[in-house]
Amino acid sequence: MVDDINRILRRKSSPIRFTYQDRWDRYKSIKMFEIYCKHYRLTSYEQIARCWNGGPSGLYNPATVKYWNKVQNRINS
């Protein structure tokens, strides 16, 4: 995920870069999540969960349905 975020930032000519260590920083993790969702235009919980689990094409990968069901159950509980 960090590599993909940095690739997105490079394409946008942003000077910001993240390290693997940044995954453990709450603020930086949230920022990476926001960059990812904005870049891939993820707006629904299902889109977000399935793409976060299976990468940018995760929404179209049947293997991510099980993960989405797990997330959905957690949201609804």
Q: How many domains does the chain have?
A: 2
The span from the CA of 3 to the CA of 6, in Å, is: 5
Domain shared by 17 and 32, yes or no: yes
C-alpha count within 13 angstroms, C-beta hemisphere, residue 63: 7
pTM equals 0.84
Q: What is the pLDDT of residue 46?
A: 95
Domain shared by 5 and 22, yes or no: yes
Domain of residue 64 covers 44-77
Domain shared by 6 and 33, yes or no: yes
Task: Give yes or no for a contact between 6 and 37, defined as CB atoms under 8 angstroms apart.
Answer: no
Domain shared by 35 and 50, yes or no: no
Domain shared by 26 and 56, yes or no: no
Q: Write out pLDDT tens, residues 30-63.
A: 999 999 999 999 999 999 999 999 998 999 999 9
Task: Quote the tokens at residue 15.
Answer: 């000077």
